[in-house]
A and B are shown apart, each in its own frame.
Chain A
């Protein structure tokens, strides 16, 4: 009986997730153009990625730089605004919280990315600044992590602050010794989530760069290059190899974040 309810999900999990993963792993060891049968080439695609494709390595660099800039700037902004809103009690808080959240919904759209491209039209055309505009577009969508931070802030017991105030701790001291440690699980959650998403950013880079990752490949995100190889050149084997490298990279970075978490994430029930 349970499988009656699970049916659709199970069908999707096997047919649209597990089987395609296995197939794409297989395809990553082949040359496949969608029209002829896949040709087994062993590790050639992987060797080419890391040894013989400067544009690929360049796209890795662009993506890493994007992640390294966009995630911290978005989270810092989210944290700062959440602290601000937490200090603002009453009716105003709900209004500002909603208003600041709106860009998280609008910013993912093509329409807003087109506006962004026009607002920063002089930057978009220079290789040194094009990536900055996309980082700014990402930071502008700080609302979602901010809402999560604010919910976390409201969970911190007030008597901790009262006790600290009695002991004469100032604002910075309370922030550093109470707020941040108590908030660290939420910070960790946001960090993992935003990092995973940042690696897969596509729409904004596609629109802002006019679909090509330009100027001079300065916004050639990983996913943009994968799209180019797979869906404009139909090199499906090569694109599959890129997809698997992305999966492994994201898994590794997530694992590293989890390993570091034991040094800086504080859970209340810890001994």
Chain B
């Protein structure tokens, strides 16, 4: 095919891909009366920030900043948990020799494919007994215990590529496994750690299912849960704040994407991350 034809086709596809995003941004800036009258105008005649004012007021009696703070706590906890716990496990699988290494790693790979639903209900029961429902513990604790085995796999793949001579040299210099992990393997694994951190952040930021199950009072709601309050509202007067809060909820993902797109795309291409 001619390069020009290919380029035009790409531009057309780009238009289709961007349409919903542009639509959402334009709807968030459109006055409510216009939204009700003609919901589908991509380039609003009049522009208003009323939607954003309403979005910052929040929903269900809590301000947007509460939701933002809660989302930030949950996502940061998840990032720290995944990076620490997954890199520890990956180091053991990739660099240390022990008898059950093979079977345990195979088991870790199997758990990647496991639907969360088969573990969900007993987990819920346990957290309920411990009176931890409606706290962030059920959302963060699993990450501290490396239940996202996918990232263990990602880091193992990466750490296997680090030359073994470095471990040898460290050992001769008197480093045990702990210092070898801390001062040799960890610094060299930075790209895999960054990829893990970014994906964990974005997935946790977007996560809805576990937050829906574990968070019950509005003051503990994260942004997706705050947005959920709009789902039941049918009055069109809430359209403006709803669209504006949707845009605000996507801003961190957009920023992360712009900053780290190379890491993200490379991560998907080499490991088949779902994204």
- Residues of A bordering B, CB below 8 Å: 1-13, 15-17, 19-21, 23-24, 27, 34, 81, 84-85, 87-88, 92, 96-106, 108-112, 114-116, 118-119, 121, 140-141, 143-144, 147-148, 150-151, 171, 189-190, 193, 196-197, 199-200, 202-203, 206-207, 210-211, 223, 226-227, 230-231, 236, 239-240, 242-244, 246-247, 250, 254
Contact = CB atoms under 8 A, between A and B. Distances in A.
Interface residues of B, number: 95
Contacts of B119: 16-17, 20-21, 24
Contacts of A11: 145
Interface in B99-130: 101, 104, 107-108, 111, 113-126, 128
Contacts of A2: 92, 96-98, 101, 177
Would you call the interface of chain A mostly helix, strand, loop, or mixed?
A: helix
A193 B274 CA distance: 8
A119 to B, nearest CB: 6
B24 interface: yes
B88 A111 contact: no
A96 B9 CA distance: 11
Nearest to A248: B118
B235 to A, nearest CB: 14
B17 A97 contact: no
B275 interface: yes
Given A16-B147, A151-B269, A8 B88 contact: yes
Most buried by A among B18, B113, B128, B230: B113
B194 interface: no
B265 A239 contact: no
A144 B17 CA distance: 13
Most buried by B among A13, A15, A171: A13
Contact of A9 (B39, B85, B265): B85
A216 to B, nearest CB: 17
Contacts of A105: 202, 206, 253, 257, 264, 275
A13 B122 contact: no
A151 B224 CA distance: 33
A118 B39 contact: yes
B209 A203 contact: yes
Given A98-B265, A111-B24, 15 more contacts: A1-B177, A12-B142, A27-B122, A34-B128, A99-B14, A100-B14, A110-B208, A114-B230, A115-B246, A119-B40, A148-B268, A196-B113, A231-B213, A243-B117, A250-B113
Would you call the interface of chain B mostly helix, strand, loop, or mixed?
A: helix
B152 A9 contact: yes
Contacts of B128: 34
Contacts of A92: 7, 10
A114 B242 contact: yes
A81 B13 CA distance: 8
Nearest to A209: B231
A64 B207 CA distance: 24
Nearest to A196: B113
B122 A24 contact: yes
Contacts of B273: 144
Given A2-B92, A9-B88, A23 B108 contact: no
B250 A112 contact: yes
B227 interface: yes
Nearest to A231: B213
A75 to B, nearest CB: 13
B46 interface: no
A151 B269 CA distance: 6
Contact of A97 (B203, B228, B265): B265
Nearest to A111: B246
B72 to A, nearest CB: 16
